[in-house]
Structure 1
Amino acid sequence: MPALLRRLCLFALCLALPLRAAELTIDLGHGAQVYRTEQLLARPDARTVNVPDDVSFKRAMHYRAVPLKALLQGAHAEDALLFVASDGFAAEMPAAQILQAHGSEAWLAVEDPAHPWPSIAGNKVAGPFYVVWTDPQAMRIGPEQWPFQLAAIRRLAPAAERFPAIVPDPALKPDSAIRRGFAVFQRTCFACHTLNGQGEARLGPDLNVPHSPTEYLRESLLRAYIRDPQSLRLWPQARMPGFDRQALSDAELDELLAYLRHMSGRKAYPGRP
């Protein structure tokens, strides 16, 4: 057989082979469940979801998606859930936010290998699985709660139990600004940053050791950086999103900074007693 004909035959064979499906692992503590792309796309509860202002694509998008809570059978409202992406991002969310949603609804968008999604900024890909929200403003869903390149979902004990070095002084009153800032930190920062060397994420630097950003940036610059990272350091390849007032109110930003200033006096270095 002539070489050109052999190449054409091999090319036709490759086209005829099914595209390799991706897998998502969900472990809620009673045995891991693995979902494949074709299984999810064929589910009877899969539907087309319209997202008018997608956080990652910065435009309207349409997805084939499954209600996320339908995949979390066995989870409890008091559980914490860790969403692990293949690029190192790890977002922790309370299960109640998904199971007992009031207005906003979480969906697992599933990329069809035959019809891949476009690239997002920096030629990154969002697939194969992506958590998207309808009506995110109803529950003030922040950008860190839209994990893409999703590979696994795991049930966790509360962050304070797993990572004691991120917990503020136990003597603080429950309603103190610092304790409220600790909750804001877990929601907005812990998906990308560690603190005192503790945490699951590996995208951003540690926010307390060797120095807290409250120690080397004056407050006005730190506030501007959190609102719009490019306003302080022009770096098109940077991965940190800005947090506008819809995602992070001025009061919540005050509380976050109170927590970070407090923790700058409670440093714990990884590997040291």
Structure 2
Amino acid sequence: MYYRLALIGYPINHSLSPWIHEHFLEKANLNGDYSTFEISPDDSFSLKVKQLMNDNVQGFNVTVPYKEKIISFLDEIDESAEKIGAVNTVVNRNGRWIGYNTDGIGYMRSLESKFPNFHQDKAKRILIIGAGGATRGIYHALVQSGFLNIDITNRTTEKAAEIAKLKSDATTTNIFSLDQAEQMIKNYDVIIQTTSVGMKPNPDNIVFKMNELKETSIVSDIIYQPLETRLLKEAGEKGVGLHYGHTMLLYQAQYAFEIWTGLKVPMGSMDRQLKHKLEGR
């Protein structure tokens, strides 16, 4: 079988997805290719998506700004994707187009790869910074994994409150302003930064200071350009555990590949290879 896979979004010329999935195809000893299918805002989205679906592809990824727009073109969406309200992976199963969201599970896999004992204490206190699409996926995955204390801080607390509606009966979630969260940072075991603050071309920006971290805490930033954000640098100076954003990129792609092919490809040295690739950009 020849796997024809693709990515839709805008802009996507510099996407790392082709590099990642071509490595996965090689590791899995499968024949196939992964191409970018850019859809500009001036194009007819409907026409372009139907063109792709009629082009014998087995599946495709969806990135911004189309993770919500794609839903109405699908025959079915996975329960998690429905709750999150966004799809980033689509598979063709016997002519039926089914949508998934791999962000949350990919994030959890990447965190567990660095911190294998992460799951042992479900009562650890977790703070998520931000309230965007990635936050919804990560929050939902943490809830599904049974974590009990997941707080959210965001510039707009109303958006954070919307995400908190995804909680289970067992979950406790408090919503804080950024100023409040900065004052309480030492109370958290895990801090997850999901905003674009600190991303190139503004790498010196930081959502708030990492002044009083607990020595045993983990600080995670899903940004991968730059590889080490200012937030991670400040946290690293405190000697805490660090989790880098490029690993989420890898593991959410791994789960997408698994959906398309049924094969879970081992990462091997891809973490290090992608790190070197990003450092060279």
Structure with more contact order per residue of length (Cα contacts < 8 Å, sep ≥ 6): 1
TM-score normalised over the length of structure 1: 0.28
Q: Which has the higher helix share?
A: 2
TM-score normalised over the length of structure 2: 0.28
